[in-house]
Structure 1
Amino acid sequence: MTPIAITSSLLLLFLAAIHVYWGFGGLWPGKNKQELIDLVFGKGDRFPAPFMCLLVAIFLFFFSLLPILWILKTKLSLDGKMIFRLRILLTIVSLIFLLRGLLAYFPFITKQWKPIFVYYTKRIYNPLCISIGLVLLIQILI
């Protein structure tokens, strides 16, 4: 299970880094601000404030530590209460990713998004979120 934990942690770190990049004005995968909004958010004409991008990055960074903490829980001598709290936290984070991944498959949600975002969310963002959510959930069940 260690390779899966490390991979999920690295993936969450990568996502955190992308949010930091956006927080400092980066445009990838777009070529301009509106294209980035269309590709990443799916609607509107305003990009979130840098503070919000950095806040999401902080959460993603924190989330990236959870799988490693779970693997190291015995080496860190965590007591039963801390292990229980870590399990609850991993479950909540897992459910957040699963919810994000599953909600976008419902037409009543996607009808308000730009077609390019719907295309990418169904092929990249949703499967990625579902995969992260499942890996985190499976990790605490094994």
Structure 2
Amino acid sequence: MEMIALPVAAVLVALALLHAYWGTGGLWPGSSRDTLAAQVFGGPLGTPMPSVTACYAVAGLLILASWLVLAASGLLSAAGWPTGLIRSGAFGVAGVFVLRGGLGYALPRLTSGNHTFARLNRAIYSPLCLGLGALTLLSLLG
């Protein structure tokens, strides 16, 4: 279902750009590396942000995920790639997001400790992951 796949892919690209921005040293929505880490990574105060390499790796994986979602829906060419592999990859994307969203409510590290992160995780990160996973599944099954 193209009508679902396109906005899902757009959100994935936006998230990829945000991770790349962090990889370049960007601080939004924080005001320092410490406040950014507290808001988007969690852990006790002073927990360092993931490395530049990790930020870029996540950005790359999010771009790959967006391509898989679009290719599985027929909106982008997957010339040379087996349809089954593309669809399996897109189902994998859905599974990863559903798993992350669900674990965001279940794992103590994601639900307690750093109160800023725990609050943002419950209000934004986990629901976003669950929504992306569910919409990806819907685009594949629709």
TM-score by length of 1: 0.89
Unaligned runs of 5+ in 1: none
Q: Which of 59, 66, 69 is the matching residue for 1:67? A: 69
Mapped contact 2:6–2:70 kept (Cα < 8 A): yes
Mapped contact 1:103–1:109 kept (Cα < 8 A): no
Partner of 2:28: 28
Alpha-carbon deviation of 1:38? 0.4
Mapped contact 1:8–1:135 kept (Cα < 8 A): yes
Partner of 1:129: 129
Alpha-carbon deviation of 1:83? 1.8
CA RMSD of aligned residues (A): 2.1
Instruction: Determine the C-alpha separation between the residues in 1 that align with 2:33 and 2:78.
Output: 47
Deviations 1:107-136 (A, max 9, x none): 534355301111010010001000111111
Partner of 2:97: 97
Instruction: Determine the C-alpha separation between the residues in 2 that align with 1:86 and 1:77.
Output: 8
Deviations 1:52-87 (A, max 9, x none): 1001100001111112112227x95869x8221112
Partner of 1:41: 41
Q: State the 4+ residue runs in structure 1 displaced beyond 4 angstroms.
A: 75-79
Worse-matched range after superposition: 15-24 or 108-117 = 108-117
Mapped contact 1:102–1:130 kept (Cα < 8 A): yes
Unaligned runs of 5+ in 2: none
Alpha-carbon deviation of 1:104? 1.4
Q: Report sequence identity in percent.
A: 31
Deviations 1:24-65 (A, max 9, x none): 000001011110000001114211110110011000011111
Worse-matched range after superposition: 33-42 or 112-121 = 112-121
Instruction: Determine the C-alpha separation between the residues in 2 that align with 1:13 and 1:57.
Output: 8
Mapped contact 1:43–1:112 kept (Cα < 8 A): no
Alpha-carbon deviation of 1:90? 1.1
Instruction: Determine the C-alpha separation between the residues in 1 that align with 2:94 and 2:26.
Output: 28
Alpha-carbon deviation of 1:7? 0.4
